[in-house]
Structure 1
Amino acid sequence: MLRPIARLKVALNGSRPPGAHPALPCTPAELAVAAQAAVAAGAEAVHLHPRRADGRESLDAADVGAAVSAVREACPATPIGVTTGLWISGRDVAARGRAVAGWAGLPRYRRPDFASANVSEPGFTDLVTTLRELDVAVEAGVWTLADADALSIAGGLPRLLVEVMRPETDAEAVLARLDTLGVRGERLLHGDGELCWPMVALAGRLGLPTRIGLEDTLTSPDGRPVADNAELVRLALSAWSAA
């Protein structure tokens, strides 16, 4: 069962290339250090994008297992999740499916506790089935009203990520549509880039958990560059509580 998040999950690195920020973690060792600091600052769960040796994102079992096990050793009591972004497989649905199915060969401590799956990406339903067979909990990435509609026939998922990527997206309308359709699952609200901090504040006002990290933004609410993921966690918890 996916443990609920009361306030905040940290997203350590995302798709940013190595060097995009001085504290961007890419290697398993860097991810472990960053996760430990973020959890100490108040993060309740960790989301990360595993990398190959050259820094590129990876869904391969060896890279996923190395990243997850390093973070688990540093944060043994913290749920750890990974991406399944279709862009990582060059938008090849079958290749992504094979890569994720390959996680079956990982020992449980090297396998993620949860994985995000974007509703709008082709192959979503089959991906959810594969993750369930692996006993990896699913977070559904909901970007639009159309995504909310699609989830109405997808069955209950433990967590829904209402992810605001574009200014024209009405987060409250998406949340309301999910409620109207009776879609079950914990709601987590967050934004990307310039929309990050407004969504942290909105999540606080609505009493919903949110997400923060160098995946989402490199700056504080006032536009100042931040030192690392841990600083973002502290700032987000303050902004969430103040809202």
Structure 2
Amino acid sequence: MTRTFALAVAPNGARRTHADHAALPVTPAELGQAAKACLDAGAAMLHLHVRRPDATHSLEVGDYEAGIAAVKQAVGDQLVLQVTTEAVGIYTPGQQIATVHALRPEAISVALREVLPDAAHEAAAEAFFAWMWCERIVAQYILYDAADVAHYWRLRAKGAISPGRHWVLFVLGRYSAGQRSSPADLLPFLQAWRDGAAGAGVTPDPASSIGGDATPWAMCAFGPRESECALTAVLFGGHARVGFENNLYLPDGSLAADNAASLRAVAEAAAPLALRPMSANALRELTA
């Protein structure tokens, strides 16, 4: 029996440019072209970063509207379009939240440590989480280490993050030397997930392979072992995000031609194990 998993693409990130790879999408037109190629390669979701005219990172509404329009023109609703709120040391938590309020996108990603860095930001962040849940905006909470996982479960225990309408992303290798991850880097996240769920009093879902409730989880991984990490996550019952934001190389060490090639590497490795990428609509059902 074939099992499906969500395969997401992060095609550009906030920092890389054409100087890093000629096929890295920067302009709205390039984002649209990349979206179509990635859809054909098995992606269910596109993690969207947009840029200013000088190619630097932007959370400005106008820049987002142009990028979103280009992707929608290319693929319609065949990809879940996830807007990033990454600060990159430029935007405050208030500005991150304001961008989401203005755009009201289908989905966003938000790092707990950015939007809720200390107690002074607690009320605003928790109001933001509640607003998204009510507006049916699917949040993906980005967790960089075991401490972030524990923080997530504390928020769940106090009701600041409600069950459903969200998922989480474990980031492998973000703070390691050279940002090079390995499949073993996933294990501390899975242990912290089990421990956090137990501490929050969550009754384990029998369908969960790692303990806790039915909240979906995914991972992204820095460095050339990205595909190995992705396949490991899928085998554990999770989902995967790959792309040029985190890695430019294929499993054999060669430079990937484009983001679609990175997606195909994961899909092709998963296929003999009766694992295949799901559609955008299946991902929408999973995170509803």
* TM-score tier (shorter): 0.7 to 0.9
1:175 paired residue among 190, 193, 203: 190
Per mean C-alpha deviation after superposition, the further-off stretch among 119-128 and 192-201 is: 119-128
* Long gaps (5+) in structure 2: 117-124, 156-160, 203-211, 274-288
Aligned mates of 2:136, 2:38 — CA distance in 1: 26
Match of 1:235 in 2: 265
State the Cα deviation string for residues 174-233 of structure 1 (Å, max 9, x = none).
123223414642111221124523311311321321111111211101210111011111
Aligned mates of 1:26, 1:231 — CA distance in 2: 18
The structural deviation recorded for 1:43 is: 0.8
Conservation of the 8 A alpha-carbon contact between 2:243 and 2:262: yes
Q: RMSD of the TM alignment (CA)?
A: 2.4
Match of 1:143 in 2: 144
Conservation of the 8 A alpha-carbon contact between 1:9 and 1:210: yes
Aligned mates of 1:126, 1:53 — CA distance in 2: 33
Aligned mates of 2:261, 2:70 — CA distance in 1: 21
Alignment of 1:15-30 (within 5 A): 15-19=14-18, 20-30=20-30
Aligned mates of 1:134, 1:72 — CA distance in 2: 21
Match of 2:92 in 1: 92
CA distance 1:122–1:46, shift in 2 (3 Å): closer
Match of 1:128 in 2: 129
* Long gaps (5+) in structure 1: 105-111
What is the TM-score with the length of structure 2 in the denominator? 0.72
Aligned mates of 2:265, 2:7 — CA distance in 1: 11
Alignment of 1:1-243 (within 5 A): 6-19=5-18, 20-76=20-76, 77-87=78-88, 90-103=90-103, 112-123=105-116, 124-125=125-126, 127-129=128-130, 131-132=132-133, 135-154=136-155, 155=161, 156=163, 158-164=166-172, 165=174, 166=176, 167=181, 170-180=185-195, 181=197, 182=202, 184=213, 185-241=215-271
Conservation of the 8 A alpha-carbon contact between 1:203 and 1:240: no
SS of 1:140's equivalent in the other structure is: strand
Aligned mates of 2:66, 2:103 — CA distance in 1: 12
Match of 1:108 in 2: none
SS of 2:249's equivalent in the other structure is: coil
Amino acid at match of 1:42: G
Conservation of the 8 A alpha-carbon contact between 2:5 and 2:234: no
CA distance 1:214–1:129, shift in 2 (3 Å): same
How many residue pairs get matched? 231
SS of 1:46's equivalent in the other structure is: strand
Aligned mates of 2:96, 2:240 — CA distance in 1: 27
CA distance 1:71–1:8, shift in 2 (3 Å): same
Identity %: 27
The structural deviation recorded for 1:103 is: 2.1
